[in-house]
């Protein structure tokens, strides 16, 4: 047969195989070309199913029945305090305000040495929203007070460890807040470090848990580094020659600071303050763990309403809270736009912190102040973490590895198995990473390359950041988990899948924010060269851009993983019987006190969370490090 085929046949055969290989390549090329649109569409679909649709159902619920749930909340004294009159009976408001003003009394007396003047007025009821804003304002003031001196030290002084300290200010973004709760309980609890020290000194114990002060302090712990980070980078962008010009024109150092430096710091300070306010307005685990229901904020009360199946009220609260946070996020973006970009000029020179000139009194005073500040920082930031790690091994008096063994044991009759929590956390982290990474990279590619996709990509991206985890979790609970009617079938998704999806949605914006700036720095000509050589857009992304931006991808991955492992807000609602994670288990140990002994296992788990956080921080700092809030 072979011989019969002959030369002609062979030629034909070559032609056929040639044609086949060309066709195969063309087919592969087509598939290639579909990759980006398909992943893009899948990203939108995931967002739609696990974010936009669930949040939408919350809004629908809140606006149902002619927005009755929202009106009920707005007109309630419990939720809006004195302000509820604005919605309940607006016509009476001017009269009420006048009546209140009329009852303000100014008292004046003469103590014999000096005049003594005070004002008395009837208390203004704040309501739930008022209290939430009040504690957020206090927390913002505390965060700025704690963070601003840090910016001064980091920007104006040189000392060993300065760069590390500056890098550490990124931690709040990946630090699980429930871990902060564990640290604060280990420090300020009735058997905590503080009371241990007091007892040793022969002083009476104090009970500061469940007070507004400790909540505000925990918020400052969490947000002061943010203030420090944003103000420091603004300070480092100040052009030294602008200050020198002002000095040469006759300005004193103080005047030059006021006229040249301060105006450049203010936008960063304002942006960080607004961001802190948003975060503390939507605060959840810290208030839940350190305040309890008696200090409930909107988010905590919303969580409680969901637990009580008061869906209408929960939806109304979620809608109002989201409106507030979207408004504030808009304000933040306005300030962010005004922050200067990379400093082109020469930065201000830093003074050596440890070269003391004895004759310089002012310098000595400044250094004494910095030393005092360093003590405060060490107490506020190190004490909770150190106390937690210490508590995980039983403290100084009773060293034990019991709690670590406890994490691996099977607890008979307990609903919360520590080993399951550890395993779930790690599995969900990997799952969320696998989902968030392609989503984030594709959105970054659309965002960085500009064009029509850009505005859309940015909007799609910002939305999950501005909506709280509890609202997303609540929406998913009442849509996906309770079931959705699709073509006559009731579809419901439960457990791990929902949790992983929620984590991916929370984490992917961080992938985008790490990858997009590096992608847009890649020369467009590289991609165009690849395309002219025959690569499809997806192929060019894979062959050329990703290898060049892998540090950003790695940093984004570290973010996404750390966020998933630490995520609490959505998880606590969605976890249910089987899909609980370490943060949820922590909460069950600390808050419910139903799952077994309290501080020990919580501290051990908190220490694992701290280790994951620290590892992801090292990755972010070593390879990425370009993240800007």
Partner 1 sequence: MTSLQLDDVTRAFGATTAVESVSLDVRDGEFFTLVGPSGCGKTTTLRLVAGFEQPDAGDVRFGGDSVAGVPPEDRDVGIVFQSYALFPHMSVAENVAYGLRFRDPPEGQSTDGRVAELLELVDLAGFEDRDPGELSGGQQQRVALARALAPGPDVLLLDEPMSALDARLRERLRVQVKKIQSELDITTVYVTHDQSEALAISDRVAVLHAGRVEQVGTPEEVYREPASRFVAEFVGDNNVFDGTPVETKGCSVRVGDATFEVEKEVTDGATVCVRPESLRFDCEHNRFGVRVESVEFLGDAYRAHCEWDGRDVLVKTREEPPTGDAVLGFRPENATLL
Contact footprint for partner 1 (CB under 8 A): 25, 29, 33, 523, 525-526, 528-537, 539, 543-544, 547-548
Q: What backbone torsions phi and psi does residue 460 show, to the nearest 5 degrees?
A: -55, -35
Shortest Å, Cβ 265 to partner 1: 37
CB of 31 to partner 1, least distance (A): 13
Q: HSE-up of 125 (CA within 13 Å, CB side)? A: 12
Name the residue nearer to partner 1 (CB basis): 18 or 409: 18
- Nearest CB to partner 1, comparing residues 530 and 562: 530
CA distance 299 to 380: 25
Question: In this structure, what token pair is assigned to residue 408?
Answer: 């691996």
Q: Residue 284 corresponds to which tokens in the numbers above?
A: 């959840």
Provide the minimum distance between the beta carbon of 551 and partner 1 in the complex, in angstroms, as a whole number. Answer: 12
Least distance from C-beta 521 to partner 1, angstroms?
12
| Residues 217 and 185 sit within 8 Å (Cβ to Cβ) | no
Closest separation between CB of residue 531 and partner 1, Å? 4
Burial of 508 (0-12, 13-18, 19+ CB in 10 A): buried
Measured between alpha carbons, how far is 499 from 425 in angstroms, rounded to an integer?
Answer: 10
CB closer to partner 1 out of 10 and 334: 10
Q: Strands of 244-334 (E only): list them.
A: none
Nearer to partner 1, 93 or 526 (CB): 526
Phi, psi of 493 (to 5 degrees): -115, 135
**Nearest CA to 453 among 51, 36, 31, 29?**
36
Q: Which is nearer to partner 1, 215 or 530 (CB)?
A: 530
Sign of the four-CA dihedral 570, 576, 579, 580: positive
Q: How far is the CB of 539 from partner 1 (least distance, A)?
A: 8
Q: How far is the CB of 533 from partner 1 (least distance, A)?
A: 3
Three-state SS for 357?
A: coil
Based on CB atoms, which residue is closest to partner 1, 154 or 549?
Answer: 549
Rounded Cα gap, residues 485 and 554, in angstroms: 39
Q: Is 190 helix (H, G, I), strand (E, B) or coil?
A: coil
Q: Which residues contact 371 (CB under 8 A, 6 or more apart)?
A: none
Rg of the chain taking only CA atoms, in angstroms: 29
Nearer to partner 1, 350 or 531 (CB): 531
Instruction: State the Cα–Cα distance between residues 457 and 44, nearest whole angstrom.
Output: 10
Q: Pick the closer one to partner 1 by CB: 11 or 419.
A: 11
Cβ proximity to partner 1, 211 vs 520, nearer residue: 520
Q: Rounded to an integer, what distance in angstroms lies between the CA atom of residue 554 and that of residue 562?
A: 12
Backbone angles phi, psi at 382, to 5 degrees: -85, -40
Contact status, residue 624 vs residue 558, Cβ threshold 8 Å: yes
| Helix/strand number for the chain, H first, E second | 29, 6
Cβ nearer to partner 1, comparing 72 with 537 = 537
Q: How far is the CB of 457 from partner 1 (least distance, A)?
A: 21
Instruction: Kindly compute the dihedral angle of the four CA atoms of residues 420, 421, 424, 425, in this order, to the nearest 10 degrees.
Output: -150
User: Would you say 501 or 549 has its CB closer to partner 1?
Assistant: 549
Give the integer Cα–Cα distance in Å for 146 and 276: 13
Q: How far is the CB of 33 from partner 1 (least distance, A)?
A: 8
Give me the torsion for CA of 338, 341, 347, 352, rounded to 10°. Answer: 80
Q: Which is nearer to partner 1, 280 or 536 (CB)?
A: 536
For residues 158, 161, 167, 171, the Cα torsion angle rounded to the nearest 10 degrees is: -130
Shortest reach from residue 512's CB to partner 1, in Å:
22
Rounded least distance, CB 520 to partner 1, Å: 16
CA 564 to CA 558: how far, in whole Å? 10
Closest distance of CB 529 from partner 1, Å: 4
CB of 561 to partner 1, least distance (A): 25
Q: With contact defined as beta carbons under 8 Å apart, do 546 and 444 qualify?
A: no
Least distance in angstroms from the C-beta of 524 to partner 1:
9
Q: Which two tokens stand for residue 32?
A: 């290639």
| CB closer to partner 1, 257 vs 542 | 542
Q: What span, in angstroms and rounded, lies between the C-alpha atoms of 524 and 514?
A: 19
Q: Which is nearer to partner 1, 216 or 527 (CB)?
A: 527
């Amino acid at each position: 047969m072979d011989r019969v085929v002959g030369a002609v046949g062979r030629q034909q055969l070559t032609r056929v195989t040639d044609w086949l290989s060309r066709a195969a390549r063309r087919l592969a090329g087509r598939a290639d070309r579909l990759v980006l649109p398909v992943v893009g569409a899948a990203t939108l679909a995931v967002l739609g199913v696990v974010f936009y649709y669930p949040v939408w159902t919350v809004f629908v619920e809140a606006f149902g029945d002619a927005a009755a749930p929202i009106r009920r909340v707005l007109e309630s004294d419990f939720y809006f305090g004195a302000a509820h009159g604005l919605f309940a009976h607006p016509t009476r408001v001017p009269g009420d305000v006048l009546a209140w003003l009329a009852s303000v009394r100014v008292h004046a007396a003469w103590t014999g040495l000096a005049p003594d003047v005070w004002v008395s007025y009837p208390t203004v009821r704040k309501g739930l929203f008022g209290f939430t804003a009040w504690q957020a304002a206090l927390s913002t003031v505390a965060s700025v007070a704690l963070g601003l001196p840090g910016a001064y030290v980091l920007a104006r002084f040189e000392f060993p460890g300065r760069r590390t300290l500056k890098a550490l200010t990124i931690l709040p973004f990946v630090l699980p807040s429930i871990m902060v709760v564990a640290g604060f309980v280990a420090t300020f609890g009735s058997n905590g470090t503080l009371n241990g020290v007091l007892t040793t000194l022969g002083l009476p114990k104090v009970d500061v848990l469940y007070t507004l002060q400790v909540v505000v302090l925990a918020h400052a712990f969490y947000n002061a580094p943010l203030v420090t980070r944003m103000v420091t980078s603004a300070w480092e962008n100040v052009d030294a020659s602008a200050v020198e010009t002002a000095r040469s024109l006759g300005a004193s150092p103080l005047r030059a600071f006021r006229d040249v430096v301060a105006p450049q710091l203010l936008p960063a300070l304002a942006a960080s303050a607004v961001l802190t306010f948003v975060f503390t307005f939507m605060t959840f685990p810290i208030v839940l763990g350190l305040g309890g229901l008696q200090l409930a904020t909107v988010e905590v009360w919303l969580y409680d309403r969901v637990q009580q199946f008061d869906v209408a009220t929960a939806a109304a609260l979620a809608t109002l809270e989201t409106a507030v946070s979207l408004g504030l996020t808009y304000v933040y973006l306005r300030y962010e736009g005004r922050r200067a970009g990379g400093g082109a000029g020469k930065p201000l020179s830093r003074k050596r912190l440890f070269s003391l000139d004895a004759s310089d009194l002012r310098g000595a005073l400044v250094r004494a102040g910095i030393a005092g500040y360093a003590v405060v920082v060490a107490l506020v930031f190190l004490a909770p973490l150190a106390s937690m790690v210490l508590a995980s091994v039983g403290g100084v008096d009773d060293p034990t590895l019991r709690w670590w063994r406890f994490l691996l044991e099977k607890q008979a009759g307990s609903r919360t198995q520590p080993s399951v929590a550890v395993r779930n956390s790690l599995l969900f982290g990997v799952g969320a990473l696998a989902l968030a990474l392609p989503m984030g990279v594709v959105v970054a590619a659309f965002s960085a390359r500009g064009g029509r996709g850009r505005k859309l990509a940015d909007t799609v991206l910002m939305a999950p950041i501005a909506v709280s985890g509890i609202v997303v979790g609540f929406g998913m609970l009442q849509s996906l988990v309770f079931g959705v009617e699709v073509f006559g079938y009731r579809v419901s998704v439960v457990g791990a899948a929902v949790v992983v999806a929620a984590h991916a949605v929370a984490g992917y914006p961080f992938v985008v924010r790490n990858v997009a700036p590096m992608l847009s720095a890649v020369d467009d000509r590289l991609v165009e060269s690849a395309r002219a050589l025959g690569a499809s857009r997806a192929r060019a992304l894979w062959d050329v851009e990703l290898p060049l931006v892998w540090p950003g991808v790695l940093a984004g991955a570290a973010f996404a993983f750390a966020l998933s492992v630490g995520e609490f807000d959505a998880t606590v609602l969605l976890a249910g019987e089987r899909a609980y994670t370490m943060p949820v288990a922590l909460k069950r140990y600390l808050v419910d006190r139903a799952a077994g002994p309290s501080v020990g296992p919580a501290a051990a788990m908190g220490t694992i969370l701290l280790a994951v956080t620290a590892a992801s921080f090292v990755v972010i700092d070593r390879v990425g490090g370009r993240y800007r809030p």
